Chain A
Amino acid sequence: MNFDLDDQQRDLASAAGDFLASSTSLADVRAALDAAATDIAVRPGRDQLLSSGFATITLPEEVDGGGGTVLDLAVVAEQAGRVLAGPSLITYARAAVLLAGDTDRLRALAAGEMKVAVVDGDGPVLDALGAEQFLALRDGRIVIGGGTVDLPDPIDPTRGLGRVTLGDVEVVDGSGDGADAQARWDRALQIGRVILAAESLGAAARSVEIGVAYAKERQAFGRAIGSYQAVKHALVDAYVAVEELRSLVWWSAWAADNAPDELPMASASAKGVAAMASQLAAETLIQVHGGIGFTWEHDAHLYWRRAKVDRFLLGDDVAAFDEVARLAMAGAAS
């Protein structure tokens, strides 16, 4: 039994953390909130994520990708979540699966010549901001093409959320049709949920850290508020939720790489628990700060926004738990 990150993955996390901390900040996030929807610049942005190599970890080496695993990408995504980085690694992870075998497009993706987003039904599109090509499942086929993007005011300005109307599309080379395409679409969605859960893990863990640091400093009634059980226990509950989520993120990422039979259950569990844990952590962060916690100036609401929006991306928590239940009752691999 060796259910833990290895030294290489820890080094990767550390390098990604350094890069992201130097290329984005919560001040940038707040500035984006104050900007008009069309002027938002998410940080670190597509170009920097690509040049760092982090966005293309799961792309094959032949197309200038990193040839790495989903677990490697999840390790980086956790770091991205800590600083609310955008655009999301989810988009790159899904595109890598949907475009598999289409060497030209994969190479264009890795080179930054093709800026993509993935469209789920009629729902909000993650990273629609700045995207020029859209991947979708239409009539049982995986397609790609241009579209028109509408950018309403986003609750979370780091997600580049918009509504997309697809224009002319063509079928992605080698993506198959019917069952093949659906299976590929499903796998891409499941891996997207894994990376989403990893980002939530980072954001939630960071929320707990900020809350703990404040609870050690802030005095009330003559002592640090973190010494009061009411405050201490709230932070511990959030910490426990974060650690439970961490286990599901690692398992689901491992399953994506090693155990396809376990991926549906693992990714749905991770997605649902991520929605709960990140919301709990963000709301606890606000509560621990009292009145300051819900001011515009404090960072807490930036994490709260991320949690509130993430809950609804790639299917909400109700849908995820419904799927877990159906799989469990069917005696699925877990």
Chain B
Amino acid sequence: MDFDDTPEEASWRSTVRSIIADNREALGRRGAGRGYDDPAARDRQALLYDNGLVGVTWSKEAGGQGGTPMQQAIVDQELSRAEVPGLVNLIGIGMCGPTVIAHGSESQKERYLKRLLRADDLWCQLFSEPGSGSDLAALRTKAVRTDDGTWRISGQKVWTTLAHVSDYGILLTRTDPDVAKHRGLTMFVVDMKAPGVSVRSLRQMSGGSDFNEVFFDDVEISDDERLGDVGNGWGVALTTLMAERMSLGGGGTDIGVGVGAVADHVAARIADLPDDRAAVTRQQFGRAYAESLAIRYTGYRQLSAISRGEMPGPEASAGKLAGTRVARDLADLSVRLLDDDAVFARDSGGDSTWQDSQASLPGLAIAGGTNEVLRNVIGERVLGLPAEPRADKNVPFRETIAVATGGSESAAKGATV
């Protein structure tokens, strides 16, 4: 057991460090705004790409470096250590790209992948709908093939992160309502600037807007833009979700709230607290800190598996479950330390760091698979517990809609399938 780089890993790490050092100024520092709309953010990603630090694990044919997951993890660690702002096209790289690589045609790969890595194009993932979040396969956005072979899409997506700035998206649709819900789906690449696509930003409880509603009003998509076979959309979506686990499963990074920053905050405030409050604060902080270390070292166990060439399994989701709870504890403690200022959106110094972090946390327990769904996945796939019975299993999708809307014939016809 050790925490050391292998000689190959060490050599790659030093290469990465020197690339970062050589481009230090141009890469910028974290903390200068969110940057989705900022052209400079795309330029930074292009610079990283041109130096071989984006898409490390992607094959050369796909525009990547043909490297290992461990090399990618080292790049992530070094960019984080150097406080380089995060990539702007994370969903594209983490989820959409791997899906195109696995299921796309040669011409789709040619058209999209390199531009995606360079952030010439930004991408989003159009999966969830108002009536189907965790029950993803219950989605209703329909795609109908016309006589000339083009597809017409109508329906609505929601919680679509970065849709408002994206150039393309991967879009999961229902193409056959007469088979069981998982079997009648088909995936497409959609041009987010196409006629009939409209995006409306949703404002989050934190006040910020990262995700959106997306409406499809008779949007035309050429059959060339289909990803995978008709009716195999669920299989394609699983590729995306596996890639998501992979992109979230890399070890050792803070979730939501930086524990080091909280340590500094506690250290700065604790001397002014009466003894009893100081003792309680230390106890609560120590507990959250110890748990954050547990999460970090659990991440290192996953990295070790990646270093051996293994893929993260469903147990990788354990880090998210533990991480969201600890992040809440840390945010709660941090806000409480503001004392009377805690009830204002900005404290007396005009700073809203801790209040903002608190307001972003409920979303963490929902995004990337709700914690309830992740518990089901771990319970069933890791612990081997029996699955929750499913009322809609092997039932044609059209009939499940009829049940959900009261079972009448007219309700079934009126549904958007």
Contacts and interface: CB of A to CB of B under 8 A. Distances in A.
Contacts of A229: 372, 375-376, 388
Contacts of A250: 1, 297, 301
A244 interface: yes
Given A227-B385, A227-B389, A322 B283 contact: yes
A6 B2 CA distance: 11
B273 interface: no
Nearest to A270: B290
A307 interface: no
A292 interface: no
A254 interface: yes
A3 B282 CA distance: 29
A323 B283 CA distance: 8
A155 interface: no
Contacts of A273: 290-291, 294
A232 B385 contact: yes
A71 B1 contact: yes
A227 B286 contact: no
Given A1-B307, A227-B385, A321 B282 contact: yes
Interface string A66-84: 0000010000000000000
A244 B5 contact: no
Residue from A212, A229, A240, A241 having most chain B Cβ neighbours under 10 A: A240
Nearest to B378: A236
Contacts of B291: 244, 273
A28 B374 CA distance: 39
Contact of A325 (B282, B293, B379): B282
Contacts of B375: 229, 232-233, 236-237
A239 B387 contact: no
Interface stretch (B87-95, B121-129, B181-189, B262-270): B262-270
Interface stretch (B137-145, B226-234, B237-245, B314-322): B314-322
A1 B108 CA distance: 36
Given A212-B383, A216-B386, A248 B297 contact: yes
- Majority SS at the chain B contact face: helix
Nearest to A233: B375
A298 interface: no
A234 to B, nearest CB: 9
Interface in B364-410: 372, 375-376, 378-380, 382-389
A226 B385 contact: yes
B246 interface: no
B385 A5 contact: no
A51 interface: no
A224 interface: yes
A240 B2 contact: no
Nearest to B297: A247
Nearest to A211: B383
Interface residues of A, number: 55
A61 B183 CA distance: 65
Nearest to A258: B2
B1 A6 contact: yes
A232 to B, nearest CB: 4
Interface in A106-139: none
Interface in A1-24: 1-6
B297 A325 contact: no
Interface string A215-248: 1100000011011110011011101110111111
B383 A235 contact: yes
Nearest to A272: B290
A237 to B, nearest CB: 7
B379 A236 contact: yes
B293 A248 contact: yes
A9 to B, nearest CB: 8
B1 A2 contact: yes
B285 interface: yes
A323 B293 contact: no
Q: For chain A, what secondary structure do more than half of its interface residues adopt (helix, strand, loop), or is it mixed?
A: helix
Interface stretch (A86-94, A167-175, A326-334): A326-334
Contacts of A245: 294
Nearest to B266: A329
Given A1-B303, A3-B297, A243-B318, A329 B270 contact: yes
A324 B304 contact: no
A10 to B, nearest CB: 12
B70 interface: yes
A274 to B, nearest CB: 10
B413 interface: no
B12 interface: no
A320 B282 CA distance: 10
A261 to B, nearest CB: 13
A5 B376 CA distance: 28
Interface string B1-15: 111110001000000
B76 to A, nearest CB: 13
A6 B291 CA distance: 25
B383 A239 contact: yes
Given A1-B3, A235-B379, A223 B285 contact: no
B295 interface: yes
Contacts of B301: 3-4, 247, 250
Contact of A272 (B9, B287, B383): B287
A1 B70 contact: yes
A240 B316 CA distance: 10
Contacts of B294: 244-245, 247-248, 269, 273
B386 A240 contact: no
A224 B290 contact: no
Contacts of B2: 1-3, 254, 258
Contacts of A265: 293
A212 B304 contact: no
Contacts of A321: 282-287, 289-290
B378 A325 contact: no
The residue in B4, B285, B385, B387 that gathers the most chain A C-beta atoms within 10 A of its C-beta is B385
A183 interface: no
B286 A236 contact: no
8 A-B pairs closest in CB distance = A321-B286, A325-B286, A244-B294, A247-B297, A269-B290, A324-B286, A226-B385, A232-B379
12 contacts: A3-B301, A226-B379, A232-B375, A233-B375, A233-B376, A235-B383, A236-B375, A247-B294, A247-B300, A248-B297, A269-B289, A324-B287
Given A216-B384, A226-B385, A269-B290, 7 more contacts: A232-B385, A233-B376, A239-B378, A247-B297, A269-B293, A325-B266, A325-B289
